[in-house]
Amino acid sequence: MAVTAKNLCKDEFFYGHKACAGCGGSLAVRNALKVLGKNAVAVLPAGCMSAVGFNFPQLCFANNAIISTFAGTSSMLTGIEAGFRRRGITDFTAVGFAGDGGTADIGIQALSGAIDRNDNIIYICYDNEAYMNTGIQKSGLTPFGAKTTTTPAGENIRGNIRPKKNMFEIVAAHDISYAATATVGYMTDFLNKIEMLHIPEKIFMRLHLLLLFLMMVLLMRTLSLKMRKTASKR
């Protein structure tokens, strides 16, 4: 059944966090967990969502959640999935929420390994196109021409000179079972793609699933084009 605002779970599993008002990443985590339910086990590396969601003595997750190493989101998901399976527990979902730097740069090796092993996990990348939590440094998913603190735009330097990695095609090249792109700007589409991932293991015994969540792409690309036009006039 299609997920809509009317039938979306009323329980909250991610609340009281310290994210900025209207933060796309927090909307993604909150609503994804509403679809996946209370038995979801969340893994978050260093990044925005772990910074705003784990504030001692307050934990903003109502379900089980843990911070991983920056590079180890996928490997920790693999361990959680294998551990539960070894104990005979099947009513759970191992889900990771990582940013673009933790996915396309620092975490890409572990992610590639998890796909190659065909691990039964869900991986969600919230792509805000830079290392936003540490001061807006360039990541592998920063668009061409974008201004960041490590790729300034001025008279001598014209912003990021490298193209944005096509992470979706990189993942697809692994011959993965399922991959998708979505945005919180179209929340119903996002929720239903999450729902597609939430398939009982008794139906699909070994299914690796990945969702690449792309947020603010159109806005960032529009800004990048403006910067490139401004730079070309100088």
Q: Is a pLDDT exceeding 50 seen at residue 220? A: no
Q: Which has the minimum average pLDDT: 31-35, 117-121, 209-213?
A: 209-213
Q: What angle do CA 24, 28, 31 make, to 5 degrees?
A: 130
Strand (E) or helix (H) holding 151? none
Please tell me the pTM assigned to this model: 0.85
How many angstroms separate the CA atoms of 141 and 111, rounded? Answer: 16
Give the whole-angstrom CA distance, residue 37 versus residue 107: 26
Cross-strand bridge partners of residue 93: 40
- Cα 41 from chain centre: 15
CB 188 within 8 A of CB 102: no
Q: Please list the residues that pair with 178 across neighbouring strands.
A: 209
pLDDT in tens, 41-94: 999 999 889 999 998 888 899 999 999 999 999 999 999 999 999 999 999 999
- Main-chain phi, psi angles of 115, to 5 degrees: -65, -40
SS3 114: helix
Type of residue found at 29: V
Average pLDDT taken over every residue of the chain: 85
Q: Which amino acid is at 137?
A: Q
Nearest-5° Cα angle at 178, 173 to 183: 100
How remote is the C-alpha of 159 from its chain's centroid? 25
Helices and strands (H and E) in the chain: how many = 8, 8
Whether the CB-CB separation of 107 and 45 falls below 8 Å is answered with yes
| DSSP assigned state of 163 | P
pLDDT exceeds cutoff 50 at 204: no
Domains of the chain: 24-233 (3.40.50.970)
The answer to whether 94 touches 41, Cβ cutoff 8 Å, is yes
Judge contact between 67 and 49, C-beta under 8 A. no
Q: Supply the pLDDT for residue 97.
A: 95
- Give CA–CA dist 214/22, Å, rounded: 16
Tokens coding 214: 């792309």
**Segment 128-133 mean pLDDT:** 91
Segment 15-42 shows an average pLDDT of 93
Q: Over 70: is that where the pLDDT of 202 sits?
A: no
